[in-house]
Structure 1
């Protein structure tokens, strides 16, 4: 498990399988998007900081399994995510 990275909700977390370079990101990071921040406890500035300081520090080859939609990689999101660019 990675350090807490709130923003979508205060208790948002992800699970990292380092050897497999696999991140189960829940609703924090999606392909080309991020988790909603209009829910109770959500905050755009907090989720942006969490993604930059926690998730974007992972190996760019790490596959991200999202809570909804297609999987992606950390590298792809750093380069293309319009909400949080690396």
Structure 2
């Protein structure tokens, strides 16, 4: 059985394909703009989601690098990734 994350990826890809087809077929200006913004929003969420999959340690290091209390903690054990 696939994970819920895989299902969400499939749903996101399908939504992008549907929005791209609908955007291509629409002639009116306002609905085309709405579909275009929806497409870009879904694409942005999917790219952000991909970045959190691909770079979790880099993102955590960036977030916690600005927190002084995390700089003062020294681990005696081995470095784990």
TM-score under structure 2 normalisation?
A: 0.30
Query: Higher strand share goes to which structure?
Result: 1
Does 1 or 2 have the higher relative contact order (CA < 8 Å, sep 6+)?
1
Greater C-alpha Rg: 2
Bigger share in helix? 2
